[in-house]
Amino acid sequence: MQQVRVNEAEIARRTIRRTDFVSCDQAFIDCRTPGSERKENYAMIGPGVSQNSEQVINLREPHGYNIGAAAMPHDVTNNLHLHFTAEVFLCFRGEFLLRWGADGNEGELVLREGDIASIPTWIFRGFTNIGPDDGWLFTSLGHDDTGGIIWGPNVLRDAAGYGLHLTEDGRLIDTVAGDEPPEDVELVRPMAESDIARLRSFSVEKMRRRVVTQDDLEWCSTPFLGSHVTGGGAELALVVGFGMTEDLDQEPRIHNPHGHNIAWLRAEPGAGVPGHRIEETQVLLVKEGRWEVTVNDHEPVVVELGEWDMLSVPPGAWRSIRNVGEDTGKLVVINSGDGRVRLDWDEEVVKAAADAGYSIDHNGYVAPYALVPRSRG
């Protein structure tokens, strides 16, 4: 793996604090539709599916996925639309009624704080904040190029009544503000009923299997080789994909390819994940507590993250993660790719784990040190 060193300026560029989030209330074609006009959209990593060219994007560098958010006051609705790549909701605050199907009447489920839901591609979905206060959904979208979205036919018709139209290349045209429909590209027309009839269908039971609540989580207390050394102790709960686990028996609830994997990581004060590196892009998104991330094996650069802060760690960079708060901390780990993420541990971690009786086998899982053959030469 190529040696990567990160300076303080680069870490600062990759650190997106809660105070850095910039909302856009004109991101989508339904921004004037009654009941939807008060939603706010965010793009932290990548443009996501925003249809506003002036949307602020905190970090444009391609990661293999996009991270954004939707903030919605009570009773505000995000209208029916479908995605071509994975859309995952991470509910950090509030209570949302999720509905799906061509008319939104195929099924409903409620998402609460701490829930993570992966919505299948090629189905219409929408959601409403049914909680008493402002709600917040982080979103991760599969791949760098998401292809945008297709709006439900009634959404397009309603928007046209308020002077908003969408071009086939994804531009939002506001005739109220004086925009003229372009001559070089067609406007998006509502999806034909024959095409809608061919879309996927999901029962409530089937969709529920794609929602991972806090009660559904299966925590592993020793997911890493580094769990067995000083500075380890973090627990891991898989949500989407196998990700970083080195525990042979740990399996995710959601298996299908997303272009990225998602897991919860939690630790008691002083515990975490000791020095390691991976080849994939990685984003750490804090839900609870205060975390310290140290980058580089020499000339370390340290950044502290608070609740809702996120850090994009460069591929190949050494990093260690530690809970520096006074209570149990919890964060979301997102890595690129559909395969397993192989950890390259610092030599001192490998030696300390061997002294404790543990090694990594040839399949990349923790195993008894005495039973794993040593390489020759």
Q: Are 320 and 294 in contact (CB under 8 A)?
A: yes
pLDDT at 140 (0 to 100): 98
pLDDT tens profile 330-342: 999 999 999 999 9
**Percent of the chain scoring above 70 in pLDDT:** 98
CA distance 78 to 136: 12
On the question of pLDDT at 269 being above 70, the answer is yes
User: Rounded to whole angstroms, how far apart are CA atoms 128 and 99?
Assistant: 9
- How many CA atoms lie within 13 Å of 171's alpha carbon, on the beta-carbon side? 14
pLDDT band, very low/low/confident/very high, at 33 (cuts 50, 70, 90): confident
Least confident of 6-10, 141-145, 146-150, 317-321: 146-150
Residue matched to tokens 């604090």: 17
Whole-number pLDDT of residue 169: 78
Alpha helices in 110-245 (DSSP H): 153-160, 193-196, 204-208
Tokens representing 60?
């444009």
* Non-local CB neighbours of 281 within 8 Å, separated by 6+ positions: 63, 64, 65, 312, 313, 314, 315, 335, 336
- Between the ranges 47-51, 171-175, 359-363, where is the mean pLDDT highest? 359-363
- Rounded Cα distance between 95 and 127, Å, is 10
Alpha-carbon distance of 37 to 271, in angstroms, equals 44
- The first and second tokens of residue 81, run together, are 């639309």
The string of pLDDT tens digits covering residues 155-204 is: 888 888 878 888 887 778 888 778 887 878 888 889 999 999 999 999 99
For each of the domains in the chain, give its residue range(s) and CATH number, in order of start.
19-212 (2.60.120.10), 225-371 (2.60.120.10)
Summarize the confidence of residues 103-110 as an average pLDDT.
Answer: 96
Between 175 and 303, whose confidence is greater? 303
- Looking at residue 178, its pLDDT comes to 81
Q: Rounded to 10 degrees, what is the CA torsion of 217, 142, 306, 244? A: 50
pLDDT by residue (tens digit) across 58-87? 999 999 999 999 999 999 998 999 999 999
Residues 350, 23: Cα–Cα separation, whole Å: 44
CB of 165 closer than 8 Å to CB of 187: yes
Degrees to nearest 5, angle at CA 240 with 237 and 241:
95
pLDDT of residue 311: 98
**Strand ordering across the sheet containing 319-323:** 301-305, 291-295, 319-323, 272-277, 344-345
- Predicted pLDDT of residue 286: 98
Question: Given this model, what pLDDT does residue 114 score?
Answer: 98
Q: Is the pLDDT of residue 27 over 70?
A: no
pLDDT digit string, tens, across residues 205-228: 999 999 999 999 999 999 999 999
- Average pLDDT (130-136) is 93
Closest by Cα among 312, 230, 213, 330 to 270: 230
Neighbours of 107 (CB within 10 A): 18
Q: Report the C-alpha gap between 75 and 361 in whole angstroms.
A: 52
Element (H, E) at 349: helix 347-355
Mean pLDDT of the chain: 93
- Which residue type is seen at 105? N
Confidence of residue 260 (pLDDT cuts 50, 70, 90): very high
pLDDT at 243 over 80: yes
